Chains A and B, each alone.
Chain A
């Protein structure tokens, strides 16, 4: 199993290695490398290694131009998870409330229909995508640009633990445990995100952002790329709208993705909404509003508005950010 030695060598030499390098340094390293001890140490820390040559290695990822030597896996999910039908949801770290809400809703809907949601555990869209999948009780895979034992970003340490702990998720990386995050590793990470998924969805991306790199990888490998239309006046959506101009499929409802997999939407029976909640939802489907503005638009008093909004939030139809409520489901 020289792949493990390769991965350990990459970590030791702080470089990116996917195939056996020529030259004496690696030979020297491989000769001294004690694979049994290394595997024992991994096992003690609850981390598994899935080599490229392993039959369980995800075929989609193996098919890319430069597949990694192997993947380090942390979490209760099995390697079969990586081979299942997967969709990558990627986007801006500094996303808008709209982007965050859409990412979460999409992940929730797609995960509950049985797709594995792959993303990069970054702030913003990535994090919302993982959360949405967890919320639906679905599977999700977080691909890191550092060792799987490093919680990066630190703010998502709890999210990472949740993904690894719930039995339905995996935190994976081609980098050995202990490897620190570095800017040059993230584009390499993005190729794995795109490589694991048959379909990549870009929710919100600035011009030249990491999410577009992921989309480029996906296109190079001939995978399907969808983009969520954003406001044409917002720099946050310039990249994703640019993809649409280039011919990416616009995503306006979760079914757009499901149809590519030949799946049906796992529609739970529609939630019965109270009359007040229905009225409030209709107003919010027009535009995002604060609680007081909703009160004025509907004529409901503050207590009834609060109750209606909580009902809609619980039903997953509305999300709040900084006091502004917005609808998160595409209108029927």
Chain B
């Protein structure tokens, strides 16, 4: 006897239809799963057997073969438990096979038969929707996330509930959150920053123009604190962007189950010991890395020169075209990664440079190798470089700055103006830029960066054209010679 259930395997973020075929034959009772299943997937045998028993259903005393088709596609993870159980139950005619085949199913089974949520439900639900499958059976806790796709979700707490639903005995109970909605995580506010007018200004420009921003300066000057405050002055994501980000976070399994939609720009700050795979994604069934998790948001690399050079180099592709493609023997996974990069670094290895209270004790050789470690190509991607000197005591006693809530409306308005078209430069602005290329000197890339930032400054100042003063301001945030050379 044969029955089929439908589920989806994820290649990166892309759902691929997988048919779970269960075949029962006469013979010595046994249970085999074929079809390029990885370890977590092979272990489904034990979970499914226990789950079926715990749901007080009958485990067929037959020779059971489960095939995950297409066989050439590598299947990773525990989301196949539920479709495998449903296919076996359908093959043994404990539930009607034709009804099972009309649904997509995705979820992990606990040994007591409960259905557990698995990351990637949103992408699976979208896959089912695209193929015209109307319904997705998944864990009750996955419901808020799956519902983001235009599909009817059948939330099941337990395998027994799924069986009752397929038998038409009852509708699944409506989903009720047990935890209640958690409070939204507080986003760090600019009001916490004392003084630092230049760094604040650079943050605002970065927020408007989507520029990558590098803070350099001695330890303890608030570089990281400033970087963490960029998401707070970025406008919220629109619906389409939010779904896009949610899909990535879902596959990575970092979504909050009760608050699945990521509506605010994400913020990721990986530690500098992070591997290449952790930053750009990877693994056998490629999973998104920090760069993709920061899609449409901010990626903060604290202590930039401490990162592995290979990890920094790997960021060049996403900084260029906003995607990361990971090739595997089984195919290629594409992850979007259009993030805004914020870096922080000391001015020298000992951290004393730029600090009037401490003398830098670095040898020129050490200083040179420190700067060499910074990938030139990466430094080139920072439109804004701000050196943050150590503030003096009376500066710290200065007035509290503007809160993020006051900056955000300016950013939103300026972004709208920028979206309507970047302003053109006046003749005086062009002259100044040409003079800077000659005198500073600026590279071709450096010139393009200054031009971009100048346009942002003009838009923020509500100016029709890019004036010389805007170019001049942009020049002040250029990459210092010692970092560029």
Binding site for B on A (CB under 8 A): 93-94, 123, 135, 153-155, 158, 274, 290-293, 295-296, 301-311, 313-314, 316, 320, 322-324
Contacts and interface: CB of A to CB of B under 8 A. Distances in A.
Given A155-B368, A295-B198, A307-B469, A324 B457 contact: no
Contacts of A306: 198, 201, 472-473, 476-477
Given A314-B439, A323-B217, A309 B476 contact: yes
B227 to A, nearest CB: 16
A316 B439 CA distance: 9
Interface stretch (B94-102, B123-131, B388-396): B388-396
Nearest to B388: A323
Given A153-B364, A293-B395, A323 B387 contact: yes
A316 B477 CA distance: 17
B198 A314 contact: no
Contacts of B387: 320, 322-323
B185 interface: no
Give the interface centre of B217, B392, B472 by most chain A CB atoms within 10 Å: B472
Contacts of A302: 197-198, 200-201
Mostly, the A contact residues are helix
Nearest to B391: A292
B198 A292 contact: yes
B377 interface: no
B201 A322 contact: no
Interface of B: 195-198, 200-201, 216-217, 347, 353-354, 364, 368, 387-389, 391-392, 395, 398, 432, 435-436, 439-440, 457, 461, 469-470, 472-477, 480, 485
A18 to B, nearest CB: 31
Contacts of A135: 439
A154 B480 CA distance: 19
Contacts of B472: 306-308, 310-311, 314
Nearest to A290: B389
A310 B395 contact: no
A292 B395 contact: yes
Given A158-B485, A313-B475, A323-B389, A291 B197 contact: yes
Nearest to B467: A307
A314 B395 contact: no
A306 B389 CA distance: 15
The 5 closest A-B pairs by CB, nearest first: A323-B387, A322-B354, A302-B201, A306-B476, A323-B389
Contacts of B389: 290, 322-324
A293 B461 CA distance: 23
Nearest to A94: B364
Contacts of B440: 313-314
Contacts of B217: 322-323
8 contacts: A155-B368, A292-B196, A293-B395, A304-B469, A310-B473, A314-B472, A322-B387, A323-B354
